[in-house]
């Protein structure tokens, strides 16, 4: 029986995230081609990793049809030119798809089934809107298994405002402004570009181009500008397009390996996986998911929230981040939380976002050798949360 091995995050990259829809930069680019670009860049950036040493390619997509179907991990591995001996598969845990791809291959590495794996996610929400082609069982509503609002993410965010009356629209808007400001500063400081892979794009109208930066950020966002936005999910509600993540296209990927194998190949391991946990919550308040997931991950690691020096929380909605911060007694503007800004600025191409969080945390770890532990956490549609705790190897 193999003994458990340390699992390390070696490197992570992503395509720039685009705005979904006919005017978005990836409107005429295939989803699987975005994944191919990411895989090729990971191999290029890590010359010590022979492609034949990749033991698995796990790629997540929430809507697994069309160019996101055909067990996309295997399809993208073949398209990227990895040897045909490298297997691959697809994963779906909605927004936590890429996160689950990482934890799943990490389990295989710890067990000894793999030495090195590539994990990531893609979502082309312009081609495949969330829920395209699904047929929810009528029993969900007829037997009152979930509240009708559970199937509309924006309504679950309004429900969360109800549950946390102290989280006002003003607080949510202020958090959104902060996310945009931090993202703009991270761009200005050259932090984000280091892990973006320039991606060829083409449209019939404009011909060829190159995507080199995220399309979604709105630098210069103000409280005044946000205050007048519509509340589409509820009359006089609190959730707007300004204090939520957008509808986006993009892909992410990372190299995960056994610690001793990374050392053998001369790969620069950036962080060690300490523990991870997923938790279920009422689907109609799915935004609270990161709270029990984090509590469980901390318990498994024998750590306390005070041990965590950096937080990467996916900003599906401002209210969901604020609920997490309120629960753990952290300030709305805590500098340890989403130091480079989050999904409210960059966008949230569902299944890909988990690895964006990890890549940003790894980058911060490199700048902060004084910080030992960090977490990546996110809420998940259908009422879940996922959290991974990492140790800084810098």
Find the catalytic residue in 128, 161, 254, 379. 379
Say how far apart CA 289 and CA 305 lie, in whole Å. 16
Contact 26, 18 (CB under 8 A): yes
Say how far apart CA 379 and CA 362 lie, in whole Å. 20
254 is catalytic: no
95 is catalytic: yes
Tell me the three state secondary structure of residue 23: coil
379 is catalytic: yes
Say how far apart CA 363 and CA 104 lie, in whole Å. 23
Tell me the three state secondary structure of residue 257: strand
Nearest Cα residue to 390 out of 293, 291, 310, 317 = 310
Find the catalytic residue in 95, 128, 161, 254. 95
Q: What is the DSSP letter of 94?
A: T
Find the catalytic residue in 124, 128, 161, 348. 348
Nearest Cα residue to 157 out of 67, 333, 286, 6 = 286
Contact 344, 239 (CB under 8 A): no
Contacts made by residues 264-267, CB under 8 angstroms, sequence distance 24+: 265/48, 265/49, 265/50, 265/53, 265/116, 266/48, 267/10, 267/11, 267/46, 267/48, 267/49
Say how far apart CA 282 and CA 169 lie, in whole Å. 23
Q: Where are the beta strands (DSSP E) in the chain?
A: 7-14, 18-19, 56-60, 88-91, 116-124, 199-203, 207-211, 248-258, 271-280, 308-313, 373-380, 384-392
For residue 373, the number of C-alpha atoms closer than 13 Å in the C-beta half-sphere is 17
Enzyme catalytic residues: 95, 348, 379
């Amino acid at each position: 029986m193999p003994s458990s091995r340390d699992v390390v995050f070696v490197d992570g990259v992503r395509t720039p995230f685009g705005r979904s829809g006919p005017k978005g930069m990836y409107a005429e680019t295939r989803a699987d081609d975005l994944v191919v670009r990411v895989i090729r860049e990971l191999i290029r950036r890590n010359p010590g990793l022979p492609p034949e040493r990749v033991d698995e390619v796990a790629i997540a997509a929430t809507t697994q049809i069309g160019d996101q179907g055909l067990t996309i991990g295997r399809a993208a591995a073949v398209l990227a030119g990895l040897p045909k001996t490298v297997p691959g598969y697809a994963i779906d845990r909605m927004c936590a798809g890429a996160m689950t791809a990482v934890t799943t291959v990490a389990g295989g590495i710890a067990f000894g089934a793999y030495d090195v794996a590539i994990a990531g996610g893609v979502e082309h929400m312009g081609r495949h809107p969330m829920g395209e082609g699904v047929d929810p069982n009528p029993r969900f509503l007829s037997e009152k298994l979930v509240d009708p609002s559970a199937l509309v993410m924006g309504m679950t965010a309004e429900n969360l405002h109800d549950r946390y009356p102290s989280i006002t629209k003003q607080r949510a808007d202020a958090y959104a402004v902060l996310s945009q400001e931090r993202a703009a500063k991270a761009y200005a400081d050259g932090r984000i570009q280091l892990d973006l892979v320039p991606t060829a794009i083409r449209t019939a109208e404009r011909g060829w181009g190159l995507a080199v930066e995220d399309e979604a950020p709105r630098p210069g966002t103000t409280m005044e500008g946000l205050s007048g936005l519509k509340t589409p999910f509820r009359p006089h509600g609190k959730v707007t397009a300004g204090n939520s993540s957008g509808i986006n296209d993009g892909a992410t990927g990372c190299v995960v390996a056994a610690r001793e194998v990374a050392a053998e190949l001369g790969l620069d391991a950036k962080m060690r996986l300490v523990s991870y946990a997923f938790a279920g919550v009422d689907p109609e308040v799915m935004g609270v998911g990161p709270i029990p997931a984090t509590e469980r991950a901390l318990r498994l690691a024998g750590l306390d929230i005070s041990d965590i020096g950096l937080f990467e929380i996916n900003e599906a909605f401002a209210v969901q981040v604020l609920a997490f911060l309120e629960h753990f007694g952290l300030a709305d503007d805590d500098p340890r939380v989403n130091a480079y800004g989050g999904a409210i600025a960059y966008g949230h191409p569902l299944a890909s976002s988990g690895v964006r969080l990890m890549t940003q945390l790894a980058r911060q770890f490199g700048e902060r050798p004084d910080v030992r532990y960090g977490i990546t956490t996110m809420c998940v549609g259908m009422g879940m949360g996922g959290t991974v705790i990492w140790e800084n190897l810098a």
